[in-house]
Amino acid sequence: RLANKRFAIVLTFAFQTLVLVTALLLVLGQLGFDISITAPVALLIVITVAVIMFFIAPFLPSLPFKFGDMVEIEGIQGDVEAVTPMFTHIRTFDGRTVFIPNTLIWSRKIVNYHFTPNRRVELKLNVSPDHSITDAFAVLKEIMHSDERFLDDPAPAARINSAGADGVEMVGLCWV
């Protein structure tokens, strides 16, 4: 695993640019163009791109997500479908495509679920007054321990959330 992922990306892009310029010069040479004049120009272009990528690009702002990440922006939750210079396209879970202006994204809170694959979920259970709370605790814990999607660390827990005349609301807390 690379210690500096951004440096690796910049280095890869610079190498790809070098290969592209070299291939373009070779093709032009094969087509009969005089590349002896363009070789210094191509070298200057490669050096300029390398300087920009190594010294300027790391300081340019970047969006805190990429294509395919699951994000929430302004209450809109879904997968990033595309990022264009003007808009970010979010595919919501009900199939809609939402276009959010990038100028709005820079000034709003963004939750990127891609960086945190484990989530805590709450399983709420209402227990009527004529049922045993102890039995309800046992059922809730059995549900959380029997499903392989629930993580053992941290261990699932159950507690009483509220109580009233109409019964007790229990909640199971577990990580998936």
Question: What is the average pLDDT across 24-40?
Answer: 75
Q: Are 42 and 21 in contact (CB under 8 A)?
A: yes
Give the mean pLDDT of the chain: 82
Amino acid at site 173: L
Instruction: Write b or e for each residue in 18-46: b if 16 or more Cβ atoms lie within 10 A of its Cβ, otherwise e.
Output: beebeeebeeeeeeeeebeebeeebeeeb
- Helical (H) or strand (E) element with 119: none
Question: What pLDDT shows up at residue 42?
Answer: 66
Confidence of residue 76 (pLDDT cuts 50, 70, 90): very high
Cite the beta strand spans of 34-152 per DSSP E. Answer: 70-73, 76-83, 87-92, 97-101, 110-112, 120-127
Residues with Cβ within 8 Å of residue 58, at least 6 apart in sequence: 6, 7, 10
Q: For 130-164, write each residue's pLDDT tens digit.
A: 888 888 888 888 888 888 888 888 888 888 888 88
Closest alpha carbon to 110 in 142, 136, 78? 78
* Tokens (6 digits) for 23: 């291939």
d(Cα 119, Cα 169) in Å, to the nearest integer?
A: 22
**pTM greater than 0.85 (yes/no):** no
- Helical (H) or strand (E) element with 31: none
